[in-house]
Structure 1
Amino acid sequence: MNKQYLIGQLEAMQNAKRVNRLRVANLVLNNPDLLPFLIEVSFETDNKLSIKAAWSLELVLEQQLDWITPYLDYFTTQISTVVFGSAVRSFSKICNFIAIAYTSKNKSILQEFLQKKHIDAIIETGFDWMISNHKVAVKAYTMNALALFGKNYDWVHEELKLIIQQNIIHESAAYKARGKMTLLLINKKINL
C-alpha cells in the first residue's frame, strides 16, 4: 500500500459520517506504514482532500497518539498553515490530545519527545485560532490545550484569560460555557 492507494480511499469517502472516517482510520491503524502519507495529505492545504485526511488522522491519533512522535517537527511547523475550517477542527482536537497526554500523570512517550519548540508552536497556533474566525469547537479544544500547557507557562494563562474575557460577550452560548469553565479552572488553579 502506498500514498496513491490512501488517496483513493480518501477520495472514496463520500461524506463526514463517522463510519466513513473510521474506515480510513482503521485502514491506517491496521497499516501503520500509511501514517506518513496520511499526515502529508492532511497538510496539503491547497487540496480539499486534506480535510478528509485530517478527519481520519484525528481518529487514528485518538487511538494511537504516540504514533505522532516521529512527526512532531513536521506536525508542529505545519499546523499553522491549515486553512480549511473542518481540518482546523481536527487539528485543534489533536493538539488537545497532545496537551492532555503531555500534562497527564500517566506515562506517555509524548512526555519524552515533545520539546519546547513543539509546545511553543502549538501554543502560538492555538492563540491564532483563538483570535481568528473559527467555530466554537476549534476554540473549545484550543482553550483546553492552552489551559493545560499554561500549567508550565504562566504567561499562557494570562493571555488566554484576556482573550476569553474580551470575546465572551460576543460569542455563542457554547463559547460562553466553555470560556467560563476555563476561566474558573485557571483562576482556581484546579487540576486541569
Structure 2
Amino acid sequence: MTSDEFYKELSYISASRQDRLAFARLVLNDMSLFPKLIAISFMTDDDSSSRAAWVLELVCQEYIYAIIPHLDFFTNNLNKVQLESAIRPMAKICTFIAEHYTSKHPNPIKKSLTSLPKEKMIEACFDWMINDHKVAAKVHAMETLFLLGKETPWIHPQLVDILQQDFHHQSAAFKSRAKHILNKMKKLKKL
C-alpha cells in the first residue's frame, strides 16, 4: 500500500473503536505501514493526524516495541501536536513508553529511551499538564511524569506543585487521578 493509499484509507476511519481496531490490525499485520502511520500522526494541521494517532495508540498498546526505531521522531514532534483529539493518544503512548521504561523487567524500551528523547517526552507532558487541555491528556501526562519521576528526582516536586495548584479548578476526573498520583508519590517517599 502506498503512502497516498494509506492516507486515503485513514480518512474513512470513524471514532468507533471497531474502526480503529480494524485499522490497527491492518498495521499490526503489515508493520511496513507503521512508518506511514507515525508520519501521518504528526501531520499536525491535518484532521487525518487525529485518526492516525488513534490507530497509533492501539498499535502501541498491542506492540509498543514498534515505536523503538521511531522514538526520536516521536519525541521530537510531540510538542507540535495541536489537535486535542491527537494529544490524548500521544499522551497515552507516552504512558505506555514510561511503563516499559520503568518496568522491573528488562525490555528493549529501557535500552532505547535515551536521555534526550526522555527529556522531550517529559517536556511535552509538563506542557500538557500546564496548558489548557482536556482531562484525558492531563491524566496520561501525570501518569507518565509520575513513572519517569521515579528515576528522575526533580520531576515529582514539580508535578506535586502543578497538581496542587490546579486541583480546585479541575474536573472530578482530574481530582480523582491527582489524588491517586499524590498518594503514590507519598508511598514512594516512605520506602
1:44-98 deviation digits (Å, cap 9, x = unpaired): 0111100000000000011110010100111000011000001000000000000
Mapped partners of 1:109, 1:156: distance in 2: 23
Superposed displacement of residue 107, structure 1:
2.3
Task: Give the RMSD, CA atoms, in angstroms.
Answer: 1.2
- The 10-residue stretch of structure 1 (73-82 or 2-11) with the greater mean CA deviation from structure 2: 2-11
Equivalent position of 1:31 in the other structure: 30
Equivalent position of 1:149 in the other structure: 148
Runs of 4+ in 1 over 3 A off after TM superposition: none
Superposed displacement of residue 181, structure 1:
0.7
Mapped partners of 1:10, 1:89: distance in 2: 18
Superposed displacement of residue 153, structure 1:
1.1
TM-score by structure 1 length? 0.96
Alignment map for 1:1-192 (pairs within 5 Å): 1-13=1-13, 15-189=14-188
Amino acid at match of 2:10: L
Superposed displacement of residue 9, structure 1:
1.4
1:4-35 deviation digits (Å, cap 9, x = unpaired): 1211210111x200011111111110110010
Q: How many residues align?
A: 190
TM-score by structure 2 length? 0.97
1:92-123 deviation digits (Å, cap 9, x = unpaired): 00000000000011222111111010110000
Mapped partners of 1:50, 1:105: distance in 2: 34
Superposed displacement of residue 40, structure 1:
0.3
Does the 8 Å CA contact 1:144/1:182 hold for their aligned counterparts? yes
Paired-residue identity, %: 42
Amino acid at match of 1:123: I
Mapped partners of 1:88, 1:189: distance in 2: 29
Does the 8 Å CA contact 1:66/1:108 hold for their aligned counterparts? no
Superposed displacement of residue 190, structure 1:
7.3
Mapped partners of 2:11, 2:32: distance in 1: 19
1:12 is paired with a residue whose SS is coil
Amino acid at match of 2:151: N
Mapped partners of 1:173, 1:162: distance in 2: 18
Does the 8 Å CA contact 1:129/1:139 hold for their aligned counterparts? yes
Structure 1 spans left out of the alignment, 5+ residues: none
1:55 is paired with a residue whose SS is helix
1:165 is paired with a residue whose SS is helix
Structure 2 spans left out of the alignment, 5+ residues: none
